[in-house]
Amino acid sequence: MKYSTLLLAIIMVFVTSCKQVKKDTIAQAFIKTEIVLTKLWETDTLLKTCEGVRYDSKTATIYVSNIGGVPPDAKDGDGSISILNKDGGILNQNWATGMNAPKGISYYNGKLYVTDIDVIIKIDLKTGIIEKKFSVRDAVFLNDLDIDTNGDVYVTDSKGDKIYKLVNNEVNVWLDLVGESPNGILVEDNRILVVSSSQGDFISIDKKTKQRKVLATGIVRGDGIVPINEGYIVSTWPGEIYFVDENSSNIKAVKILDTKDEKLNTADIGIIPEENILLVPTFFGNKVVAYKIDYK
């Protein structure tokens, strides 16, 4: 009887293992695109603790958020936004000032929106002047930010485990994400994509039902998200960049870059879509690095 029980246990382990291997094999079969990143240029190391980048196609310029002194939640007043050209030249290192620790940035209708610890800042794109600061009640560590096509602003609070939404000059909690530590965020037509910095999950959230689905795993300390034709490129703060195929569903993301040995972080990434160029702020590296997105 003891031998029968042992044999049954061995068989069950074998069957379970086979199922897992089959599942992983099927999942990986969806990933048909191999992404290769080729370095193009890097800025001078003058961008102090650069966290986020966003490209403006209308002006062909790149906005960079600089936290300045650390810790990244210090209300020390030394945060700034810089402007680069498409070749990495620093056009204006201190285009906008008067912030503490700016992180996520995006623009809409002539305004640049920026997260800054517990406020959302609106800056005029023509002048660089801060027009308004929206206080976010109970916010702990506002991080990334993206804007819907109608102007609604979605913001992650990584330490508060929430997503906030700014609509008609009012900020309210859109969704609680207890235990997820949401960081990177990307707003699409019908869903919100978020990368969890604590769980390493890349998840989609339905805008109407708020139902969640895990698209990919293994992205520990996830930071930024950009869309490409084949899916998504997702960064992690310690220095890794991953590719998630558009057909992914609960599979392990594919690592395409690792700069940890160079002690270069890969924070809230951006993209120049028409040229397939990935923009990577390096945080403590104090520079932005650009990579051409190629395929094998």
What's the pTM value of the predicted model, to 2 decimals? 0.88
Helix (H) or strand (E) holding 189: none
CB 126: neighbour CB atoms within 10 A? 8
**Beta-bridge partner residues of 143:** none
Asked if 25 and 88 sit in the same domain, the reply is no
Asked if 123 and 40 sit in the same domain, the reply is yes
Asked if 116 and 199 sit in the same domain, the reply is yes
Percentage of the chain beyond pLDDT 70 is 89
Picking from 227, 147, 171, the residue whose alpha carbon sits closest to that of residue 195 is: 227
Segment 46-99, tens digit of pLDDT: 999 999 999 999 999 999 999 999 999 999 999 999 999 999 999 999 999 999
Q: How far apart are CA 2 and CA 126, in angstroms?
A: 79
Choose between 115 and 19: higher pLDDT: 115
- Please give the tally of structural domains in the chain: 2
List strands edge to edge, sheet with 191-196. Answer: 182-187, 191-196, 202-206, 212-217, 251-252
**Beta-bridge partner residues of 182:** 196
CA angle 164, 285, 36 (to 5 degrees): 80
Mention every residue, 6+ apart, whose C-beta is less than 8 A from residue 46: 90, 93, 286, 287
Asked if 266 and 124 sit in the same domain, the reply is yes
Residue-level pLDDT at 27:
40
Asked if 12 and 150 sit in the same domain, the reply is no
Asked if 148 and 20 sit in the same domain, the reply is no
Segment 147-160, tens digit of pLDDT: 999 999 999 999 99
Segment 168-205, tens digit of pLDDT: 999 999 999 999 999 999 999 999 999 999 999 999 99
Residue-level pLDDT at 250:
79
Output the domain CATH number for residue 256: 2.120.10.30
Q: What domain range includes position 157?
A: 33-295
Residue-level pLDDT at 296:
82
Asked if 125 and 12 sit in the same domain, the reply is no
Asked if 129 and 159 sit in the same domain, the reply is yes
Asked if 26 and 139 sit in the same domain, the reply is no
**Length reported for the chain:** 296
Q: How far apart are CA 111 and CA 169, in angstroms?
A: 13
Residue-level pLDDT at 142:
98
Helix (H) or strand (E) holding 9: helix 2-29
Asked if 132 and 188 sit in the same domain, the reply is yes
The pLDDT-based confidence of 23 (bands split at 50, 70, 90) is: very low
Asked if 272 and 252 sit in the same domain, the reply is yes
Asked if 18 and 110 sit in the same domain, the reply is no
